[in-house]
Amino acid sequence: MQNIMRTNHKLSTYDHISQFNRPLIRWVGGKRLIVPKLLDLLPKTFGTYFEPMIGSGALFFSLRPKRAVLGDINPELINFYKVIKDNHDGFYRAVQKLRASKRNYYTMRVSKPVSPLGKAVRFFYLIRLSWNGLYRVNRDGEFNVPFGGRCPEDLIAIQVILNAADALRKARLVGGDFEKTTAIARAGDLVYLDPPYPKGAVADNGFDRYHKTKFTLDEHKRLFAHARRLANRGVYVLLTEAPTERIIGLYDGEFNIQLVKSQSLIAADCEFRGSVNEAVITSYKVIESIQE
């Protein structure tokens, strides 16, 4: 695999991560808390940035690459980002008309808008006000998270939308499986893979459910096989994974693995939202040294 020499001095590309260069939504398993570590572990240079399991896009919005291909199997999520990219003014105007309340939440939850804008507004409103900001659907693909009890006066700041729209303007958004999204990745490109998995859980399955189908252990094995194919053709591959024995064992010996501290943010009782380990896996070696 590739060898990359790095120091702990951040590149100028990463120096201006403001409060507005943040995800638009909360997302279970989002990497906002470990983004600084991920930025330090990137190759010094790379071509197109691929993120086929975009989720909240914490790394993408912090990095703001010049060229990107973003995808997800969740059509509601991809539609949301497409609306932010192409119709952020309309989205903001629509959200400004809404008020946060338990009654409005459940009315919105049973609604079935048909326009891309209507779907995006519903998606955002439900995640913004759901319990723990959780997105979960049942086997029929129906959103089923209860109201979280928060009633913020402002649902989102206009500057956050504008900055996100600017970052997304440089990206191509596609729906579908991770293999399809990264099929065109070439040597020197960077692919970041962040599959569903439960932070701090002992199970090897993904969190239930971002999509009507689960991301099972067999899917993790398929992800590993694809990551290996990408690496073998010279693509830089970065993954975040569950630090469980069966999953880590897939990559051990072929990829570089290190554990980083994060925090589990999903629990009914705040007392159980403690520090957890997550595995950061790279197809290339990162040698960090201290720059005086």
Mean pLDDT for the stretch of residues 68-81: 96
Evaluate whether 178 touches 215 at the Cβ level (below 8 Å).
Answer: no
Q: Extract the tokens encoding 178.
A: 């991770």
**Among 206, 202, 203, 227, residue whose Cα is nearest residue 216:** 206
pTM equals 0.85
d(CA 117, CA 83): 6
Q: Worst-scoring range by mean pLDDT, 49-63, 138-152, 197-211, 270-284?
A: 197-211
Burial of 253 (0-12, 13-18, 19+ CB in 10 A): exposed
pLDDT value at residue 15: 39
Residue 186 has pLDDT above 80, yes or no: yes
**Among 5, 69, 60, 73, residue whose Cα is nearest residue 291:** 5
Give the tens place of pLDDT for each residue, 227-271: 999 999 999 999 999 888 899 999 999 999 999 887 655 444 444
CATH of the domain at 66: 3.40.50.150
Domain span at residue 230 reads: 3-289
Evaluate whether 182 touches 154 at the Cβ level (below 8 Å).
Answer: no
Give the tens place of pLDDT for each residue, 5-25: 443 333 334 434 455 578 899
Total count of domains within the chain: 1
